[in-house]
Amino acid sequence: MTTHIRRTGDFRWDGIPVSAYKPGGTHFAGITRQLLFEGGEGLGCQLRYFEVAPTGYSSLERHRHAHAIMVIRGRGRALVGDRILELGTHDLVRVPPRTWHQFRADGEEPFGFLCMVDCGRDSPERPDQDELSDLRADPAIAEFIRI
Amino acid sequence: MTTHIRRTGDFRWDGIPVSAYKPGGTHFAGITRQLLFEGGEGLGCQLRYFEVAPTGYSSLERHRHAHAIMVIRGRGRALVGDRILELGTHDLVRVPPRTWHQFRADGEEPFGFLCMVDCGRDSPERPDQDELSDLRADPAIAEFIRI
């Protein structure tokens, strides 16, 4: 593994591919993933960089593992539990276990954030119709979420 | 634990204290530590932010656990193993297990970097006289290191 990985341009890194956010689906849009540190060899966690285009959004999901997030580009908004957060560069967000969350860009610039997770983690789940109804009981959340 | 932690100023965060880098000693200088994510509750890792003043340096040390680092402020240099790296903002550095490393600022601005580690990790060790002699066999490393 390379010791020093240079930033090569605007939020791109030497030898690190810009990947699809997830294998496929229509429950997300305009979002890419770069795996900055994959873990292993003395490290039980990963650091990923996600970038959301101005009209994009991540998947509305939850899981048992937690996320620890730092914004490093632009501005965005996030649903975390029952709160909608307004996020700027270098703000931190903790997504606790089993908490619904979704990220959206806010503005004309891409919205980029680091996300730290354990290497060993469970798969995300998406809301079923009952859970969606519960979420939509709050008008602000109903307006915010994209599925 | 708070879900959203706002950046409050230049590389400071709401409610996160600026701490001493280590309990004490003369083997480091001009460096502070902020614990951004402490782990626990679904997360087995921590994210710290270290900031090195223009004349400062971290401890020359090694340990079994690995570091995964992203520069987010200024410029610096690092010894990692037998290499001295020139680092700019958003560059990534992987410090493998059992590898000597030390960070120094480079320029007039503070040098700040994120460092991801496992919550469960061993304590660092510093070089003994024989190990220092080995390191100093390389003139560039001899010039670089501070103890």
**Could you please report the per-residue DSSP string of B64-130?**
SS-EEEEEEES-EEEEETTEEEEE-TT-EEEE-TT--EEEEE-SSS-EEEEEEEESS-PPPB---HH
Q: Does A35 touch chain B (CB under 8 A)?
A: no
Find where tokens 């003369």 sit: B26
Q: How far is B25 from chain A (nearest CA, A)?
A: 27
User: pLDDT digit of tens for each residue in chain A (147 aa)?
Assistant: 679 999 998 999 999 999 989 887 888 999 999 999 999 999 999 999 999 999 999 999 999 999 999 999 999 999 999 999 999 999 999 999 999 999 999 989 999 999 999 999 999 999 999 999 999 999 999 999 999
Q: Is B42 helix (H, G, I), strand (E, B) or coil?
A: coil
| DSSP label at residue B30 | E
Contact partners, residue B21, CB within 8 Å, separation at least 6:
B28, B31, B32, B33, B50, B58, B59
Among residues A31, A52, A115, A117, the one annotated as catalytic is A115
Given CA atoms A122, A123, A124, A127 in this order, what sign does their dihedral have?
negative
Closest-CA distance, A66 to chain B, in angstroms, reads 5
Interface contact A3-B96, CB threshold 8 A: yes
What is the nearest CA distance from B26 to chain A, expressed in angstroms?
A: 28
Q: Are A71 and A87 in contact (CB under 8 A)?
A: yes
- Contact status of B42 with chain A (Cβ, < 8 Å): yes
Per-residue DSSP letter, A128? -
For the segment B130-143, what is each residue's pLDDT rounded down to a tens digit? 999 999 999 999 99
| Cβ of residue B91 closer than 8 Å to a chain A Cβ | yes
Burial class (CB in 10 A: 0-12, 13-18, 19+), A116: buried
The interface predicted TM-score of the complex, written ipTM, equals: 0.95
Q: For residue A45, give the nearest of B2, B96, B118 by CB distance.
A: B118
Q: Model's pTM, two decimal places?
A: 0.96
Distance CA A107, CA A75 (A): 7
